[in-house]
Amino acid sequence: MKNNTSTTEKIPIFSAKTGKIELMEKVEKSDEEWKKILTPKQFDVARKKGTELAFTGKLNDCKEDGIYKCISCAIDLFDSKAKFESGTGWPSFFEPIAEENVKKETDTSHFMVRTEVLCSLCDAHLGHVFDDGPPPTGERYCMNSAALKFVKRE
């Protein structure tokens, strides 16, 4: 008799609500499954590494207090307290809500070398990070609005 035990990978993810690291199951879906829950623009950006045009994203000018979550799996990614006006046309943050919640990979597309930022739980493409941000980190997490969902702080 076959053993049907699943060995789903667990990822440590910080929750802004509890203020703690929680182990969560890695989210894996087919393109067809993602297309059922994301708009075409969200799918292009988050799942196919697209980019929205500068100054077109709905969250670029958002100044409300809250948490920016992954559009694909809803984990917490950025706190509005880390958001700043970069002038680039994309929502920019000087740090993620927790290093565990994002991962960085080298991106050599478009004849450039950049650092891509992805959701740690579902591998959604969020944007890129650059080293021209403000103190205290000197980093600029340049994110796509289409990859984020904003939730006002309660």
pLDDT, residue 6, reads 52
Looking up tokens 């307290």, which residue turns up?
Answer: 81
Q: Catalytic residue among 73, 119, 122, 142, which?
A: 142
Instruction: Convert the pLDDT of each residue in 45-54 to its tens digit.
Output: 999 999 999 9
d(CA 144, CA 76): 15
119 noted as active-site residue: no
In a domain, 47, yes or no: yes
CATH of the domain at 75: 2.170.150.20
Q: Which domain holds residue 135?
A: 10-152
Residue 154's pLDDT band (cuts 50, 70, 90): confident
Q: Are 150 and 68 in contact (CB under 8 A)?
A: yes
Q: What is the tally of structural domains in the chain? A: 1
Instruction: Convert the pLDDT of each residue in 65-87 to its tens digit.
Output: 999 999 999 999 999 999 999 99
DSSP result, 25-70: EPP---HHHHHHHS-HHHIIIIIH---PPTT-STTTT---SEEEEE
Taking the model in full, what pTM does it have?
0.93
